[in-house]
Structure 1
Amino acid sequence: MSDQQKIADSPTTDMPNKAENALDMTLEQIQEETRQQAAQQQLVMQQLSGDIEATFEHIQQIKYSGQGKPLVLLHGWGMNSHVWQPLLPSLAQHAQVICIDLPGHGANSHLPLGTLAEAVEQLAPHIPQDAIIMGWSLGGLIAQGLAHALPDRIAALILIASTPKFVAEGDWSHGVSPDLLALFGRSLQTDYLGTVKRFFALQFLSTKTDTRVVNALRDRIMEHPASVPALEDGLNILQTADFSQAPVKQPTLWMLGKLDKLIPASLADALPEMGYKHIAVLEQAAHVPFVTHPELFMEHCGAFLNAL
């Protein structure tokens, strides 16, 4: 893999009331909902693979059949593992894929996310030896935290539309305005569904993704909404996590979108100064390149995984 790749590509590019009801659930209802979600997730994954092992410890995870090293997928803010499903068959050609819903999200919505350190502590027991962590956006920040906490267990990282520091401040210009995150935090208190919907739309902005694809994915994810406390904790992690002075030591592939409205493509110029060698900028992609440009995304991922 070359040291730095900038690839031009061509793009292909309401909410249910259930989320509102979920906010008022009793503990018993949440537990029942979690059991139902687990069954639904198993059914979907069995249709894709036929070789599924689900573990029901503190953090629920779903293992998808595959070859090679374990590849742990960590989704972004307000999302869940459903966002990865179209990509799973391709990833399984290179690795043993493990999907984990972050605490407070999806099938683990009954758990608190907490601070970055607390999220890392919860996830650490579920990271196998020689794991590769694929983290998207918020998941990429948590992946960097795991890499520092588990240096002998994590073999490599793939960080998608993520950054060492999410907020632009001081000498760090490769992030979003703190005001934008503060705005999401305020609107979350008054308009849960609208806030998540706007954030979802922002991730596809400037791409030509079919709106039917975007809406279908959004609705599927919102069948298992994240809890409000977890969303608040996630925003706090985005606001405070800072690895700009602490690059990870493991081999790391950074996948960025030239059109991303959250993570500036200028980050690609700063990463080599931090010692990172593997950087791919997808010219026609935004914040969700694995959805809008899956084939090009897999070209880079496959080459990186095969070289490990």
Structure 2
Amino acid sequence: MTPLVLLSGWGCDARLWQPLAGHWSEALAVSAPDWPGYGARSPLANPGSLAQMAKEMADELTADAIWVGWSLGGLLAAALLDHLPAPRALVLIGMGGDFCHEEGISTAELRAFQRAFARAPDTTHRYFLRWQLRGEPDPRAAHRQLRELLDDHGGVDRNTLAAGLDQLAELDNGDRLVGAPCPIWRVAGERDPLLAPARRESADHRLSHAGHCPMLSQPASLAACLAGIASAVEPSP
């Protein structure tokens, strides 16, 4: 069986992946560990430290696995290629080499969001959970589903959230991905409002009738897509 490690993005713990539970191929061994500071996992002493994060996640992010990072989770997973043995493959869902793009979410928009979070973290967090769903076929239904999954909160440490916004603003994996030590696959919802159109169109797989959160709106399609990628990746020597 191929290990598949699912990594959530900003503001959502691993419960986000639960809608895929009934759709997995039997050829996959799926796990969804929380990042430090999410769910019941203790935050790092320095939530922005990639070295500390790599040490904390080393037992889950193994070289025999395919790492699947959604949104900030993809940005972090790509950055951790400098700190951990390379996986069998890295799949980025709803993420490019960096986050900000003038035709997607601009640097100015993200900075404004950071200021809003500093003033009112809980309100801003809840707003983001709803706002990211704009591209789904039924945003209201997706928001209800997300609230039910997360018990109306994301289960996240505030300092970890603040560090995550800094990482969205600052991390640039462009060179890492060009010279990556493993295959890179990009997956995008065809209506993802957080991705620039060029990044959506250049993805290796585009999911129909999906936005930034295909695990909510198109779980069967996303699970099938990931199973197809796993079958195409050469096993580790």
TM-score exceeds 0.5 = yes
- Partner secondary structure for residue 281 of structure 1: strand
Matches within 5 A, 1:11-30: none
Q: How many residues align?
A: 229
Relative distance call for 1:109 and 1:191 in structure 2 (3 A) is farther
Q: Note the alpha carbon deviations across 1:1-23, whole angstroms, 9 max, x for none.
A: xxxxxxxxxxxxxxxxxxxxxxx
Cα distance in 1 for partners of 2:106, 2:142 equals: 29
Structure 1 partner of 2:171: 241
Q: Report SS of the residue matched to 1:108.
A: coil
Correspondence for 1:199: 128
Work out the CA distance in 1 between the residues paired with 2:10 and 2:154. Answer: 13
Q: String of CA shifts for 1:115-155, please: whole Å, max 9, x gaps.
A: 33432332124323411101000000111123333344x11
- TM-score, scaled to structure 1: 0.67
Matches within 5 A, 1:58-97: 68-91=1-24, 93-97=26-30
Which of 175, 180, 191 is the equivalent residue of 1:259? 191
Find the counterpart in structure 2 of residue 288 from structure 1: 213
- Kindly tell me: are residues 265 and 302 of structure 1, through their superposed partners in 2, closer, same or farther at Cα, counting changes over 3 Å? farther
Secondary structure, aligned partner of 2:186: strand
Change (3 A) 1:120 1:263: farther
Give the aligned partner of residue 126 of structure 1.
Answer: 60
How many angstroms apart in 2 are the aligned matches of 1:286 and 1:86? Answer: 16
In the alignment, structure 2 segments of 5+ residues that lack a partner are none
Question: Once the 2 structures are TM-superposed, how far is the Cα of residue 219 of structure 1 from its aligned partner?
Answer: 4.4
CA distance in 2, matches of 1:282, 1:180: 26
Deviation of 1:240 (Å):
0.8
Task: Please show how residues 145-160 of structure 1 align to structure 2 within 5 Å.
Answer: 145-152=79-86, 154-160=87-93
Retained in 2: the 8 A contact 1:135–1:141?
Answer: yes
Q: Which has the larger radius of gyration?
A: 1
C-alpha separation in 2, matches of 1:122 and 1:192: 25
Paired with 1:224 and 1:285, the residues of 2 have a C-alpha distance of 21
- Once structures 1 and 2 are overlaid, which stretch shifts more, 253-262 or 89-98? 89-98
**In 1, distance between residues paired with 2:118 and 2:208?**
35
- Tell me whether 285-294 or 122-131 shows the greater mean CA deviation: 122-131
Question: Could you tell me which residue of structure 2 aligns to residue 162 of structure 1?
Answer: 95
**Range 185-194 or range 206-215, more displaced:** 206-215
Q: CA deviation at 1:296?
A: 2.0
Measure, in 2, the Cα distance between the counterparts of 1:138 and 1:237.
8
Contact 1:256 1:265 in 2 (8 A): no
Are the counterparts in 1 of residues 3 and 30 from structure 2 also a CA contact under 8 Å?
yes
Cα drift, residue 81 of structure 1:
0.7
Runs of 4+ with >6 A deviation: none
Could you tell me which of 41, 50, 55 is aligned with 1:108? 41
Among residues 113, 117, 122, which one is paired with 1:188 in the alignment?
117
Aligned-pair CA distance for 1:164: 0.8
The amino acid of 1:294's aligned partner reads P
- Partners of 2:175 and 2:112 lie apart in 1 by 27
Alpha-carbon deviation of 1:266? Answer: 0.9
TM-score by length of structure 2 reads: 0.86
Over the matched positions of the two proteins, sequence identity in percent amounts to 30
Deviation at 1:86, TM superposition (A): 1.5
Q: Decide whether the 8 Å contact of 1:120 with 1:145 is kept in 2.
A: no
Aligned partner (choices 226, 235, 251) of residue 156 of structure 2: 226
Q: Which amino acid in 2 is paired with 1:220?
A: L
Cα-to-partner distance string for 1:254-307 (whole Å, 9 max, x where unaligned)? 111222121223115567xxxxxxx11224311011211122222321211122
Deviation, 1:182, is 1.3
Deviation at 1:88, TM superposition (A): 2.6
